[in-house]
Amino acid sequence: MHSSLAEYLLIKAEQTNDTLTPMQIVKLVYLCHGWMLGLHGRHLIEDDVEAWRYGPIIRILYTAVKKFRSHPVELPLIKNAQATNSFSDEEKDIMNQVFDIYGKRTGIQLSRLTMPRGLRGLKHETPTTLAGMLFPMI
């Protein structure tokens, strides 16, 4: 579901004549997941979240977008991805709110927002799986 969530956010960006870099899209997907857990007590993605140097990473999503480097991510993200219209109204509401609140922030700003001070500077070559742990929304 991470790819369809990322594509939903990329479509939202296109609709506002915006673009999203790999760091932005990874952090926005993470924030959507955190909001869903915090507000509704259920997962929006099932993928593992890892602590890397610049904050939480969903490795499978990162792998799909890293080829864009610091350039805007382009659609389609993954061939045959789950349709973006398969989200419930509740899920779309969360994703829309996260995009509206955080979508204009840079990747670095989102990284700072999602990375607890105690974990900043962690080397990404040795990721730590954070099964069930969410970074605080600072």
The string of pLDDT tens digits covering residues 24-44 is: 999 999 999 999 999 999 999
pLDDT, mean of residues 75-82: 65
Instruction: Kindly state the tokens that stand for 28.
Output: 């926005």
**What is the reported pTM?**
0.82
Residue 39's SS3 state is: helix
> Residue 128 pLDDT more than 60?
no
- Taking alpha carbons only, the member of 28, 47, 45 closest to residue 96 is 28
Average of pLDDT values for 42-56?
Answer: 88
Cα Rg of the chain (Å, integer): 14
What's the rounded Cα separation, in Å, for the pair 32 and 34? 5
